[in-house]
Amino acid sequence: MGKWTKLLLSVFGGITAILVIGLIAINLYIGKSKPFIDGERNVSFLDNDVEIVRDVNGVPHIEAGSDADLYRAQGYVQAQDRLFQMDLARRQASGRLSEVVGAAAVDTDKNFRTFSLRNAAEASYDGYGDEAKKVLAWFAEGVNAFIEQAREEGKLPYEFKIFGYEPELWTPIDSLTIGKYMAYDLGGNWHSLAVRHWALNNFPEEQARELFVSYPDNAPSIIEANLKTPVEVAGRFNSDLVPHEFNGSNNWVVSGDKTASGRPLLSNDPHLGLNTPSIWYQMHLQSPEQNVGGVIFAGVPGIILGHNEDIAWGVTNVGPDVQDLYIEIPNPENPTQFRYDGKWEQAEVRDETIKVKGDNDVPFKVIVTRHGPIMSNILYKSEDPGALFSMQWTALEPTKELEAIIRMNKASNWETFEAALEDFHAPAQNFVFAAKDGTIAYKANGRIPIRKKGDAQLPVPGDSSEYGWAGYVPYDELPRVVNPKVGFIATANNEVVDDSYPYHITKYWAQPYRYMRIAEVLGKGDNFTAEDMMELQMDQANLYAREFLQDLIGSVEATDKEGRYTDVISMLREWNQIDSPEAGAPLVFHKLMRQLPKTMLSSEMPGDVYRLMPGKGQIVDQMLRDAYSGKLGVWVSNYGGVDKWVYDAFETSIAEIEERFGNDSAKWKWGDFHQLAFPHSLSAASPIFAYFLNPEKQAIGGSNVTVQAAAFNDNGTVYHGASWRFVADLSDLSTTYHIVGPGQSGHMKSKWFHDQAEDWANGIYHETVLDGKVEKGYTLKLKAK
């Protein structure tokens, strides 16, 4: 062995030793912040002792002698497992990420300061009753007890050390702000108005008309206002900050007449981002006043989705039009004044200076008109804009969702549950309900505006009292069903009313395929069991392909005169229209359906406007339906016909597949492209973080249009779907069935960090009990001093 080789080995050995020592030190440090979950702790924030049993899946079962101690312990336990997530959530929703992240978060902070979520939370707090304020205070006491304890012991979650700060104490407003964030995530339609406004000003009216779900023929004054007073859209809004288009869910409830047990079955799987840690935290809360289990957002008290000993409930997003844009005319002499009924009206101006870690403060002001905040101010650069958008939104008004949650948790039948829903205003949700007494029910709940003019398809003039809201759909007239003869109720963000319904909810419903499949299965079957419901939640049947595939194949064959794609077409013809990870046809179909709007629309509009545009699937679906029925629209005619459009998109799709997976179509698999990720919030910062914090990617089936919801990005990464799966058999509510992907804990050293990632992919549920017979993992006794 030569001298240089020995030297290199010596150096390498030294570096390796340093790295090993460093990794051991890091491992020990990270391990030190694992929460103490087994044994006894003396605490000063409780009136009496509380027992917390974490079962084998990491679900905490909290038993307390009073509601006060129950909510205190709930705050403490959530902080044990999710404190860093809770802190980031309140910072993001409050527009305070830049304080700990730096300049990269300034635009995000501007966005959330403009949306005014924390201001809305503060206004809501003032309207809460004494009981809810006590619950918020008790919860905050528990969170703060953990923060102070962890700080004193040097055991704060390791992420705080990475970012170099310590968490502030928790407040009731923090919990309400996180609640408002969920309204933001689930209740947005402002960007659709902005895009339609842009389209009306950049395309001939007939061409713009086809980009509307339903064109407002009966509102010529609104159309004229949009044409006469254009507001800049392209380059003015950050499309990356718009909530995910596929935020939705599945839920259904089956009558005892159609079940093996003779009692109802209820299923729910809300569709949100699939992240590490999960957006949901599963818990069981028990005191002399309540015994309730299910999930809640980390940072919020109570149980928002789940069951107690008598009832079960679940939700999907209604998706009503609850945000309106107003075309505001500023005073050239004073840009904080806006024209209203012939006079200049002073707007509220809030100083929202943003503190930035390692940099200078960023001056920022939020201007709020009588309708709401000026949205165009987020990235506006023009000296004389001429006109700006403001936004009116139900969630910016005082609301009392926590009061609804508290009462829901203790409800015992449909009457008491429906009474509780009256305080659940934003976001509007489709609640399905089942009770041990056999009742099944549904209500589309929340504040849905009644407009003086228009139907939320376009922005309206902000300078006239002729426009605006005249109130809300009366609570007793919201869509409602109790014990239908058909024996089941299901929603999947689909249209829930027909033309006879007297009030406007929205024109923009989700594509109907998930609902159609659920109704198909429930309508044909009987003697259903909980296992059948779990199987249906994992169903991969693709009814989107059932509607369009044969026509699409016809278009390709009509154009492919040389037979270049004979093998691919044979694969598509032989496909059973199930989005199985082992099949190649779903890869071709979904790539094509995603490519069709790009081929038709993306070159005709700026990139940020295209990304901002929601409902591209619904718009393209209608273009295809019309074209295949012989009614060519402007877009399809201008392109050269439906066959050319479909063939060009197909050709692009196949080229992309071949570049990534080779030319042999027999080897293509949906699961090689369609892979589950569960990314951690820190993983984008470094491949090292990604390696340690993200679970391994997995091939999975399903898609954005199947009951097994698994929406994916252009790279195939599945990042959106059933963030929680839940099934309850009302014949025995002592045991219910759940999946919380990827796991319960937010700590990377916990065995519950990613333990449900594979379960999520494979549909393996865990049982959770309410009757105290917990298969014990760890027991923590908090001893009141």
Cβ pair 436, 253 in contact under 8 A: no
> Where do the DSSP E strands lie in 56-94?
60-63
Can you tell me whether residue 559 is helix, strand or coil?
helix
Q: Which residues pair with 291 in a beta bridge?
A: 286
Those residues with Cβ within 8 angstroms of residue 635's Cβ, 6 or more apart along the chain or in another chain: 207, 210, 600, 601, 623
Nearest to 294 by CA among 781, 737, 760, 749: 737
Query: Using the 8-state DSSP alphabet, how is residue 12 labeled?
Result: H
Q: Is 249 a catalytic residue?
A: yes
Can you tell me whether residue 508 is helix, strand or coil?
coil
* The two structure tokens encoding residue 673: 């492209």
* The two structure tokens encoding residue 561: 């005169």
* The two structure tokens encoding residue 221: 């004054």
> Where do the DSSP E strands lie in 319-425?
323-328, 330-331, 334-340, 343-346, 348-351, 365-368, 388-393
Cα torsion angle, 381, 383, 387, 389, sign: positive
- Compute the distance between CA of residue 609 and CA of residue 595 in angstroms, rounded to an integer: 17
The one-letter code for the residue type at 348 is E
567 is in an annotated binding site: no
Q: Which residues pair with 284 in a beta bridge?
A: 61, 293
Cβ pair 176, 182 in contact under 8 A: no
- Compute the distance between CA of residue 391 and CA of residue 187 in angstroms, rounded to an integer: 13
Those residues with Cβ within 8 angstroms of residue 445's Cβ, 6 or more apart along the chain or in another chain: 318, 421, 424, 428, 429, 430, 431, 478
Query: Using the 8-state DSSP alphabet, how is residue 77 labeled?
Result: H
* The two structure tokens encoding residue 255: 């009558």
- Please work out, in degrees rounded to the nearest 5, the angle formed at the alpha carbon of residue 447 by the alpha carbons of 445 and 453: 130
Distance of CA 306 to the CA centre of its chain: 18
Which residue is catalytic, options 192, 249, 665, 683?
Answer: 249
How many helices (H) and strands (E) the chain has is answered by 25, 31
Cβ pair 188, 243 in contact under 8 A: yes
- Compute the distance between CA of residue 771 and CA of residue 224 in angstroms, rounded to an integer: 63
To the nearest 10°, the Cα dihedral for 375, 378, 380, 385?
Answer: 20
The one-letter code for the residue type at 531 is E
Nearest to 497 by CA among 438, 545, 428, 413: 428
755 is in an annotated binding site: no
Place of tokens 């270049």: 564
Write the secondary structure of 188-221 as one string of H (helix), E (strand) and C (coil): CCHHHHHHHHHHHHHCCHHHHHCCCCCCCCCCHH
Cβ pair 145, 169 in contact under 8 A: no
> Which residues are identified as catalytic?
249
Which residues are part of a known binding site for Ca(2+)?
321, 324
